Amino acid sequence: MKIIVAIDSFKGCLSSRELAEAAETGIRRAIPDAEVVKIPVADGGEGTVDALVEATGGRFRTVAVRGPLGELVEARYGILGDGQTAVIEMATASGLPLVPPALRDPRRTSTFGTGQLIADALDLGCRKFIVGIGGSATNDAGTGMLAALGWKFSAASGETLEPCGGNLARIARVDASGAHPALHNAKFLVACDVDNPMYGPQGAAFIFARQKGADDTAIAELDAGLQNFAEVILHETGRDIALMPGAGAAGALGAGFLAFTNADLRPGIEIVLEQLAFDTLVRDARFVVTGEGRFDAQSLRGKTPIGIARATKKHGVPVIVLAGSVADDAVAAHEEGVAAFFSIMDAPMSLDTAMHPDTAKRLVAKQAEEIFRLASATLC
C-alpha cells in the first residue's frame, strides 16, 4: 500500500519533514509493510525554501543584504537540485519581523534586499526563480527590488529617488538601462495567494498597510503613490497591470514583478507541487495524508491541504487531513476533495503543551496509527 505523506509545517512547532516522519511512525505501527512516500511541502510562504531544497537535493546560500530599513541582515535562499532554479522567500530579506514594532512604517521600508538575493542568484547562473512574497514589511511596489537589480527611479526634476513607499508619488520616470543583463533570460514564478489589485479600496495600501504600521494618513499617501506609479508604468512600458489579480500582493511587489520582469503569479502550493512532480507521484497511491497547524475556512483559499486535495481529486485517491486544531467551518473542505479531517488532540491541554515538539510528534503518530488501523481493517 503506497501512502503519500505531505504535511505543511506546524508553525512554531514542527517542520514538514518532522511531521512526515511522525506520521510515518504511526502508519507503520498499523501497516508495517506500507510504502510511505514522504514529501516536504509548503504553500509558498514560510518553509517553502526548506521544503523544495530538501526534496530536490539542493543547497542553501546565505547572503548579507539590506533589510527593510537599510540595516544589514543575513538572508538565506535555496538553489534546487537542478542548479538552475533559485527559491526565495522575500520575507527573509524584506519581512515584517525584521522591523521592530516601534519603527514600522511602510512609507520607509524597501524590498531592496530581496532584489539583492535575486542578483546573487543571477550571478551564480540561476535563470529560473520561485519567489514567495508573503509576510512583507513593505509597500514600495517592488521599486526596492528593482533598484537592487539596476533600475533607477527619478522625479520630474530629474532627482534620483530612494526606492520606498513614500516616494512612489514622486516617481515620474523609470530608467531600465542598468538592469541586470541576465534578467532577459530569467523566468519568475511568484507564489501569490491573494488577488488584490495594486491600489484602491481592495489594493495593497488599504488592505495590508495597516498591519505594517501605517495609520490612516499613511495609507492614503501610499495608495496615491501606488496609483501614480501604476500610471508611470503604463506610460513607460505600455503595461496596464494595476487591476491585475495579485498586483497588490506584498505591498504591490506583485505589480513590480508583473511590470518589469518575465513573471507569472500563481498560488504557492500549485508551484510547489509542480516542482515536486506530485501529479506523477500520486497516481498509484492508495492514500494521501496532508495537514497544517489549523484547518479552517481560510485553508480553502489555497493553503497546502486544499491545494493537495485539488491536485489529488482527479486521481480518485482519498485525502486525509491531520491538523493541530480543526474549526467547524472546515466542513466545506469535503467539497474540495478532502475525504476526512482530524485534529491530533486527544485530551484537553494548554497551547504550550500541545505545541511542544515531542507532544506534537506523539499526537501525530498516534492519530495516524488509529486512522490506518481502521483503513487496513476496512480494506481487508
Q: Are residues 165 and 281 in the same domain?
A: no
Residue 377, pLDDT score: 87
Q: Are residues 87 and 179 in the same domain?
A: yes
Domain final position from 268, 292, 307? 268
Whether this prediction's pTM lies above 0.75 is answered by yes
Residue 88, pLDDT score: 97
Residues of the chain predicted below pLDDT 50: none
Q: Are residues 89 and 123 in the same domain?
A: yes
Domain final position from 235, 268, 301? 268
- What CATH number does residue 222 fall under? 3.90.1510.10
Q: Are residues 160 and 218 in the same domain?
A: yes
Q: Are residues 55 and 126 in the same domain?
A: yes
Residue 380, pLDDT score: 62
Q: Are residues 132 and 173 in the same domain?
A: yes
What 3 state SS string does the chain have?
Answer: CEEEEEECCECCCECHHHHHHHHHHHHHHHCCCCEEEECCCCCCCCCHHHHHHHHHCCEEEEEEEECCCCCEEEEEEEECCCCCEEEEECHHHHEHHHCCHHHCCCCCCCCHHHHHHHHHHHHCCCCEEEEECCCECCCCCCHHHHHHCCCEEECCCCCECCCCHHHHHHCCEEECCCCCHHHHHCEEEEECCCCCCCCCCCCHHHHHCHHHCCCHHHHHHHHHHHHHHHHHHHHHHCCCCCCCCCCCHHHHHHHHHHHHCCEEEECHHHHHHHHCCHHHHHCCCCEEEEEEEEECHHHHHCCHHHHHHHHHHCCCCCEEEEEEEECHHHHHHHHHCEEEEEECCCCCCCHHHHCCHHHHHHHHHHHHHHHHHHHHHHHC
**Number of structural domains found in the chain:** 2
Residue 42, pLDDT score: 87
CA distance 298 to 361: 24
Q: Are residues 102 and 215 in the same domain?
A: yes
Q: Are residues 6 and 31 in the same domain?
A: yes
- What CATH number does residue 291 fall under? 3.40.50.10350
**Please, which residues have CB within 8 angstroms of residue 208's CB and are 6 or more apart in sequence?**
139, 196, 248, 251
Q: Are residues 298 and 168 in the same domain?
A: no
**C-alpha closest to that of 304 among 313, 317, 293, 315:** 293
Which cell goes with 327?
A: 474549526
Q: Are residues 7 and 68 in the same domain?
A: no
Domain final position from 211, 233, 268? 268
Structural domain range at position 332: 2-41+277-379
CA distance 32 to 24: 10
Question: Which tens digits make up the pLDDT trace of 242-266?
Answer: 999 999 999 999 999 999 999 999 9
Q: Are residues 231 and 364 in the same domain?
A: no
Name the packing angle between helices 268-275 and 304-313 (round to 10°): 60
Question: Which tens digits make up the pLDDT trace of 157-184?
Answer: 999 999 999 999 999 999 999 999 999 9
Q: Residue 267 in contact with residue 278, Cβ under 8 Å?
A: no
Residue 136, pLDDT score: 94
Q: Are residues 289 and 327 in the same domain?
A: yes
